[in-house]
């Protein structure tokens, strides 16, 4: 957040590398090699019986997301890349725009509503699949016509491991475009042993049959699981809590080829990171492959975190922490996870001033004193860390919510190039000076390198919680969203629930067929209520991308 003198910055940076290196050479980073503990196959989803309405699950209204909310410590600036101009928009309007799952579905299926929704989705060759807490649904990607659901997430795992059959939440779905397979996931919450549950389609049809897998995280509760597809692995990062509530970060690589072959016992290589806390933060993201061109043969998978020197964990400067995961399935015990480098970034402020201080009551809404969660204070980038190989360079893009202007949230975004020798190619903070908060974003690039970022919007007077997106062409000046902003879904109500949860994440994805069309899912309110959130799915394409 605060700018350091050059000489002090250098020494802090060098000291940080040394401390990080010591931690990453410790015994805690010895690879652990295990196997998936349970496997099954399903009939086609289209012929599965829906799990009947049930009230045997009860999580309360709020999903757990442990950890302190730090007190605000003053505005420290939006950085050199702060973009406050209000731009006449040239970004295209949506070419598809349809409703996704809502909390009404939870009320119908379970008899209660939940918060937050954790909206996530991806696009395949013909379908769009959306997941939220605690349901999922399949749509025609062009028309939005509903093909299945919304249904209890546990529908996929019925008759499998009981823990996975529960609709537990924190879902992630992604489409493996190299294999044309869907991967649907959730964690488990029963304990005392916890699992990550995966359902992998046997074909490109989301309504077809699935292979089911569960792998154990032992006594550690695997909160906030995030996935990255790499040619040799499906990689999961988690924010874990042991029975004494000690926090660590889990990194799990599951053998992708064994999964795709239907092997009933695929191997898993895992690592645990716990210190220094500013280095591991509250979560890491593994590179998530998009596009047609594979990474260079044998390339390790990048894993990225963020750190803010104004947070309470002692970060020496504002930076991106770049790790390298190298998995050898020929000799799994030789697999490595190491810190590759730390990239200093221009000052940013992840701690939005909430009211009361240290609460989740952060972003104002019209017509109420209730505020909603910002979540930028969690020291981690927001889903996804998209990877692309453009031939002459490789790129990673990700983002995080920040206090861009005093009391105003904006979106900080980064493009990192050449992950094996990473450099920060460009970054910016998108925050037009119009009094609107922008947060809870997700960013991606199309095959030309054009970018799109979707996010939530709200303010205290006229902008109800809704959904917008912005972006840039590859030919635009670096560090700038020169295409302006468009509305995906305007809100027309505020959230009154005292828990204030919002997000915890959203998803921007690219159609694997044309590699041009962006799809985005997020939540909004159509009427003021406690927990009446809805989701909206939209798509657009830059006209120059063919």
Question: What confidence score (pLDDT) does residue 12 get?
Answer: 36
Predicted confidence (pLDDT) per residue in 476-507, tens digit? 999 999 999 999 999 999 999 999 999 999 99
Helices marked H in 143-202 — which ranges? 162-165
Closest CA to 506 of 61, 68, 131, 60: 131
Rounded Cα gap, residues 47 and 69, in angstroms: 45
Task: Name the E strands within 23-161.
Answer: 32-35, 38-41, 82-83, 96-102, 120-123, 127-131, 135-140, 146-152
**Token couple for 427:** 């970054």
- The CA distances from residue 388 to 135, 230, 297, 352, 522, in Å, are 30, 11, 14, 32, 23
Bridge partners of residue 83, in order along the sequence:
430
Burial 99-120 (b: 16+ CB within 10 A, else e): bbbbbebbeebbebbbbbbbbb
pLDDT-above-70 percentage for the chain: 93
Question: What confidence score (pLDDT) does residue 21 get?
Answer: 37
**Token couple for 419:** 């992950």
Opening angle at CA 429, ends 424 and 431, nearest 5: 170
Query: Do 355 and 83 touch, CB atoms closer than 8 A?
Result: no
C-beta atoms surrounding 17 within 10 Å: 14
Phi, psi of 415, deg, nearest 5 = -120, 115
Question: What confidence score (pLDDT) does residue 391 get?
Answer: 98
Query: Do 411 and 401 touch, CB atoms closer than 8 A?
Result: yes
Q: What is the rounded end-to-end Cα distance, in angstroms, of the chain?
A: 40
Helix (DSSP H) and strand (DSSP E) numbers for the chain = 5, 32
Rounded Cα gap, residues 338 and 325, in angstroms: 7
Rounded Cα gap, residues 307 and 295, in angstroms: 27
Q: Reading across the β-sheet that carries 172-176, which strands appear in turn?
A: 38-41, 210-218, 194-201, 181-187, 172-176
**Token couple for 70:** 């730090």
Query: Do 539 and 521 touch, CB atoms closer than 8 A?
Result: no
pLDDT in tens, the chain (546 residues): 433 333 333 333 333 333 333 345 333 489 999 999 999 999 999 999 887 766 555 444 456 677 778 888 889 888 889 999 999 999 999 999 999 999 999 999 999 999 999 999 999 999 999 999 999 999 999 999 999 999 999 999 999 999 999 999 999 999 999 999 999 999 999 999 999 999 999 999 999 999 999 999 999 999 999 999 999 999 999 999 999 999 999 999 999 999 999 999 999 999 999 999 999 999 999 999 999 999 999 999 999 999 999 999 999 999 999 999 999 999 999 999 999 999 999 999 999 999 898 899 999 999 999 999 999 999 999 999 999 999 999 999 999 999 999 999 999 999 999 999 999 999 999 999 999 999 999 999 999 999 999 999 999 999 999 999 999 999 999 999 999 999 999 999 999 999 999 999 999 999 999 999 999 999 999 999 999 999 999 999 999 999
DSSP string, 297-318: TTPPEEEEEEE-TTSTT--SSS
Q: 423-430 and 82-83: which strand pairing?
A: parallel
What's the pTM value of the predicted model, to 2 decimals? 0.95
Cβ-based burial of 328 (10 A; exposed 0-12, middle 13-18, buried ≥19): middle
């Amino acid at each position: 957040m605060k700018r350091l003198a050059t000489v002090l910055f250098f020494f802090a940076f060098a000291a940080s590398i040394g401390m990080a290196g010591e931690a990453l050479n410790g015994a805690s980073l010895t690879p652990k090699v295990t196997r998936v503990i349970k496997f099954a196959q399903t009939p086609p989803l289209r012929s599965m019986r829906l799990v009947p309405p049930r009230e045997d699950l009860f999580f309360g209204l709020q999903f757990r997301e442990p950890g302190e909310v730090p007190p605000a410590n003053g505005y420290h600036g939006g950085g050199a890349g702060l973009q406050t101009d209000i731009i006449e928009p040239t970004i295209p309007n949506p070419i598809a725009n349809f409703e996704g799952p809502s909390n009404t579905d939870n009320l119908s299926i379970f008899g209660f509503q939940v918060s937050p929704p954790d909206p996530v989705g991806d696009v395949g060759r013909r379908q769009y699949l959306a997941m939220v807490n605690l349901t999922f649904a399949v749509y025609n990607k062009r028309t939005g016509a509903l093909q299945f659901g919304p249904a209890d997430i546990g529908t996929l795992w019925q008759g499998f491991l009981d823990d996975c059959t529960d609709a537990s939440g924190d879902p992630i779905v992604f489409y493996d475009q190299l294999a044309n397979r869907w991967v649907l996931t959730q964690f488990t919450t029963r304990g005392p042993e916890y699992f990550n549950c995966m359902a992998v389609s046997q074909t490109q049809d989301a309504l077809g049959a699935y292979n089911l897998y569960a792998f154990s995280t032992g006594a550690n509760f695997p909160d906030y699981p995030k996935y990255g597809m790499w040619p040799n692995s499906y990689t999961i990062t988690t924010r874990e809590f042991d029975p004494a509530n000690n926090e660590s970060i889990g990194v799990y690589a599951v053998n992708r080829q064994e999964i795709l072959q239907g092997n009933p016992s695929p191997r898993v290589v895992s690592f645990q990171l716990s210190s220094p806390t500013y280095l591991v933060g509250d979560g890491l993201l593994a590179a998530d492959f998009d596009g047609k061109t594979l990474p260079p043969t044998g390339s390790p998978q990048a894993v990225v975190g963020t750190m803010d020197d104004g947070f309470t964990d002692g970060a020496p400067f504002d930076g991106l922490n770049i790790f390298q995961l190298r998995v050898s399935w020929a000799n799994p015990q030789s697999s490595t996870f190491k810190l590759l480098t730390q990239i200093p970034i221009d000052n940013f402020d992840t701690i939005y001033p909430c009211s009361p201080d240290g609460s989740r009551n952060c972003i104002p809404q019209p017509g109420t004193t209730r505020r909603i969660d910002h979540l930028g204070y969690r020291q981690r980038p927001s889903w996804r860390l998209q990877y692309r190989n453009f031939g002459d360079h490789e790129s990673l893009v990700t983002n995080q919510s920040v206090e861009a202007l005093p009391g105003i949230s904006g979106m900080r975004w980064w493009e990192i190039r050449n992950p094996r020798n990473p450099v920060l190619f460009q970054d910016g903070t998108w925050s037009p000076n119009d009094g609107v908060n922008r947060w809870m974003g997700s960013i991606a690039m199309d095959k030309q390198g054009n970018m799109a970022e979707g996010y939530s919007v709200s303010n205290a007077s006229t902008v109800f919680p809704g959904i917008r997106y912005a972006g840039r062409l590859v030919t635009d000046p670096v560090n700038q969203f020169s295409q302006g902003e468009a509305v995906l879904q305007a809100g027309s109500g505020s959230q009154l629930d005292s828990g204030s949860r919002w997000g915890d994440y959203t998803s921007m994805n690219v159609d694997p067929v044309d590699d041009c069309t962006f799809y985005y899912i997020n939540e909004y309110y159509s009427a003021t209520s406690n927990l009446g959130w809805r989701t909206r799915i939209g798509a657009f394409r830059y006209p120059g991308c063919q």
